[in-house]
Structure 1
Amino acid sequence: MSISQSGLMEEKEKVPAGYKKSSVGIIPKEWEVVKLDQIGSFLKGKGVPKSEIIDNGLPCLTYGELYTKHHDIIQKFNSYINTQSSKNSRGLHYGDILFAGSGETLKEIGKSVAFVNDHEAYAGGDIIILRQVKNNPHFLGYFLNHQIVNRQKYRLGQGHSVVHIYASGLKDLKIPLPPLPQQQKIAEILSTWDRAIEHTQGIIDQLKVRNKGLAQQLLTGKKRLKGFEGEWNESTLDSIAQRVTRKNEELDDTVVTISAQRGLVLQEDFFKKRVASETLSNYYLIHKGEFAYNKSYSKGYPMGAFKRLDKFDKAVVTTLYICFKLRTNVNSDYMTYCFEAGLMIPGLMRIAQEGGRAHGLLNIGIQDFLNLKLNLPNLEEQEKITKVLGSAYQEQKSFEIKLATLKDQKKGLMQQLLTGKMRVKTDLQGDN
């Protein structure tokens, strides 16, 4: 080994003052590394079958909800059981840490949440419970989803189509554990961000309801803006749009697909791989501002989604999509709001039949599609409505940006605080 290589290794192994090497990396000197079975005992959730879940009663948690409804700390319950069902279920205690025992991928296996309430509640099957009382459950809730622990969980995952993790493996997970006053301080800091995230999400949810109602009122003429009156005109899609069947003769390589939530996005970003055929000449080439309609179900779009190409000057789409461009007698942003508000759904339901060759694909004839009808105001009123809705949705967007910032800040804080890189001041200890 050369002198330079030796010096590099020594530099990598250098431990800052106030820290020490451990089996899980460099940690503050006053922290200790423990196995989970040293801080509590493991139990198995039981009961809570879906057939027994009701709208009101005793709160309960299913392992599926652990993935979809809860993050780090259980804030509120979404499901309930009656007293009779609770007799066959596992009751929770304050401070319990709940792990998902099953998952579809190694990445999600063993996700955990902390129960920090004193009220009666229950955990269903496929949930593993760590019962502990001496450590701060908020801290453990945050830490047990950290990458230091997740890397160990991945190695424990067993199975292929469904991945399982067991208490026999979880008990040997190693975690760096700070003294209790530091646990409490770290939990307080992260809880502050959680409260801000929850508050901001609540505002977004309220704005979504408001904006949805406002769009329905304005886009159907039930509510008119000041200065506008008179009847709207019934128009067919054919009268305001022209079908696009432009073949990709120039062999453009920007292949996009419709994402219900994100619009027309690169196929690689949506599927994590390219699924289009190598020969792209038979695909449709659409230009910026033109629309594509996907004739299949997706979340929030029961009769398929209309999306406008906004992110690229040109892009290539499958010929399964119906593509079109708007004529000059209609406002493009206004029509985008109409599509997102679901105003085409009633007409699509009348003409659509589910295809037999692909699940969820709708058989919609081109002429029937172009004959779809909707009531439209004149261009001036369209533009005014667009301006009002644009302001409303911009307010929602500003809070969504704030929410994303708060989540990024929390993620950064977790990385610093849960590894001890950022030290906290407690009543018993100053900053190091």
Structure 2
Amino acid sequence: MVMLPEGWDCKNINEIGIQVIDGDRGKNYPKDNEFQATGSCLFLSAKNVTKAGFDFSLGQFITSEKHKILNKGAVELGDIVITTRGSIGHFAYYNQKKYQTIRINSGMAILRSNVNYINPDFLYEVCRSQIIKTQIEKASFGSAQPQLTIAIIKKFRIPLPPLSEQKKIAAILSTWDRAIEGTEKLLANSQQQKKALMQQLLTGKKRLPGFSGKWLWKRSKEIFKSISIKNNPMDCELLSVTQDQGVVLRSLLERRVVMPDGSVQGYKLVNPGNFIISLRSFQGGLEYSYYRGLVSPAYTVLDNKIEIENDFYKFYFKSYNFIGHLAVATIGIRDGKQISYQDFSFIKLPYPPLPEQQAIAAVLTTADEEITAIESDLVRLRQEKKALMQQLLTGKRRVTVD
């Protein structure tokens, strides 16, 4: 812990009246067949406590009768829940009553503040700070499934400014939390709107102004052809294809790991504007390449046979409509993940007039740009709050208390 300013203290959790409450592990602990999809008492599991706090989208419940015979682990308003097994050190603050009763499972613990010594909002900010993260990393044990014990949690060191300063610090940081939460909601709404736009525009259900008439639908082999350009120079870049990042350039170090002798025998050339698909272990979607480089022989490289707007198909190959067609194509194939190029070549794809392809691609590109801008704002807000937490929670930056 860093040097604290005058008037501040640093104490263990158990020294400042914070109760650390374990989940009930006794003979009355709920069995698998006692959980219900609905009920009066929510029984928290690891899926309900994430890095971002509580996630109540999925829940399991126990009956009120079962709740009454359990001795420990009931969550009260103002409690903080921490995960103690597996994905340890996730905190969630129950500051808004959502359920009549809540209990924790045996992989969690409850921190219950003594409001005469520590403000619960302040404690929650400390719990999510690097101050506690560092202590968790040092104190946890178990490699396969990291764990924390109640005894370890009780020894966590907490910076303790005067109560009035705690409240002011918590109020300042909660303002940033609200800004972050608002930006997260804006991002989720923008992403949902883009999905809806894709579903409507890429299937012709919704037409942009100035366009009418029926679309052509062509087999993919009428629009694309498989190309295999080999015997390429060794100084070509090596490409990786992932669903999360798309097509990316591999580092020289990665290349040496993949091909220690530097050989690119059999590797296929990809040019900007080509699409890449792994038909041997297909997981859904085609990736568009902005780069020139080489891919493994396991990939199929596609080039267009007729004039198209590449960005239109870049979006279409990420749409639920296309992935649904692939799901049909993979029925009956081993593991449901492998298709041949022949299977793919018979899938029907939309082929609207080129100007309409370009207009649709422009609308969706604008939506992407808006999402990217919001994501950048979110990253900036999180970084700024993290820096402010480090200053406020250690006393490097003081606040004025009325």
- How would you bin the TM-score normalised by the shorter chain? 0.7 to 0.9
Native 8 Å contact 1:252 1:315 kept in 2: no
Give the root-mean-square deviation of aligned CA atoms: 3.0
The match for 1:345 is: 323
The match for 1:320 is: 298
Change over 3 Å in CA distance of 1:289–1:375 after alignment to 2? closer
The match for 2:267 is: 283
The match for 2:90 is: 111
Q: Deviations over 1:295-323 (max 9, x none)?
A: 488xxxx942311123xx32333332222
The match for 1:45 is: 23
Q: Deviations over 1:144-201 (max 9, x none)?
A: 2322222221222221211111111122222222111111111111111111111122
AA in 1 matched with 2:195: K
Q: Deviations over 1:325-379 (max 9, x none)?
A: 23451100100111111332243223326776xxx67221122222321121111
Change over 3 Å in CA distance of 1:164–1:214 after alignment to 2? same
**1:30 aligned counterpart, secondary structure:** coil
Q: Deviations over 1:360-403 (max 9, x none)?
A: 67221122222321121111111112222223333333322222
**2:364 aligned counterpart, secondary structure:** helix
- List gaps (5 residues or longer) in structure 2: none
Q: Deviations over 1:65-88 (max 9, x none)?
A: 3236x33xx586753524244334
The 5 A counterparts of 1:115-264 are 115-117=94-96, 120-134=101-115, 135-247=118-230, 249-252=232-235, 254-264=237-247
Q: Deviations over 1:234-262 (max 9, x none)?
A: 21222222223233632246443333232
Deviation at 1:290, TM superposition (A): 1.7
**1:323 aligned counterpart, secondary structure:** strand
Structure 1 CA distance, aligned partners of 2:346 and 2:140? 54
Structure 1 CA distance, aligned partners of 2:57 and 2:256? 40
Native 8 Å contact 2:43 2:102 kept in 1: yes
The match for 1:95 is: 78
Structure 2 CA distance, aligned partners of 1:173 and 1:219? 54
Deviation at 1:292, TM superposition (A): 1.4
Q: Deviations over 1:199-251 (max 9, x none)?
A: 12212222222221222111111122222222211212222222232336322
Native 8 Å contact 1:100 1:111 kept in 2: yes
Change over 3 Å in CA distance of 1:50–1:150 after alignment to 2? farther
AA in 2 matched with 1:109: I
The match for 1:375 is: 350
Residue identity over aligned pairs, in percent, reads: 29
**Does 2:402 align with 1:423?**
no
**1:322 aligned counterpart, secondary structure:** strand
After TM superposition, the structure 1 stretch with the greater mean CA deviation from structure 2, 133-142 or 342-351, is 342-351
Structure 2 CA distance, aligned partners of 1:328 and 1:407? 46
**Does 2:282 align with 1:307?**
no
Change over 3 Å in CA distance of 1:407–1:55 after alignment to 2? farther
Native 8 Å contact 1:295 1:304 kept in 2: no
Change over 3 Å in CA distance of 1:53–1:320 after alignment to 2? farther
The equivalent position to 2:6 in structure 1, one of 22, 29, 32, is: 29
Change over 3 Å in CA distance of 1:342–1:116 after alignment to 2? closer
Change over 3 Å in CA distance of 1:147–1:334 after alignment to 2? same
AA in 2 matched with 1:148: I
Deviation at 1:53, TM superposition (A): 4.8
Change over 3 Å in CA distance of 1:75–1:152 after alignment to 2? same
The equivalent position to 2:366 in structure 1, one of 386, 391, 395, is: 391
The match for 2:59 is: 79
Structure 1 CA distance, aligned partners of 2:354 and 2:129? 54
Structure 2 CA distance, aligned partners of 1:55 and 1:262? 38
The equivalent position to 1:363 in structure 2, one of 338, 360, 363, is: 338
Change over 3 Å in CA distance of 1:76–1:344 after alignment to 2? closer
Structure 1 CA distance, aligned partners of 2:331 and 2:242? 22
The match for 1:18 is: none
Structure 2 CA distance, aligned partners of 1:123 and 1:353? 41
Native 8 Å contact 2:238 2:293 kept in 1: yes
**1:212 aligned counterpart, secondary structure:** helix
AA in 2 matched with 1:305: G
Deviation at 1:126, TM superposition (A): 0.4
Structure 1 CA distance, aligned partners of 2:332 and 2:234? 32
Native 8 Å contact 1:93 1:115 kept in 2: yes
Change over 3 Å in CA distance of 1:413–1:280 after alignment to 2? farther
Q: Which has the higher contact order (CA 8 A, sep 6+)?
A: 2
Structure 1 CA distance, aligned partners of 2:249 and 2:36? 40
AA in 2 matched with 1:367: Q
Change over 3 Å in CA distance of 1:44–1:354 after alignment to 2? farther
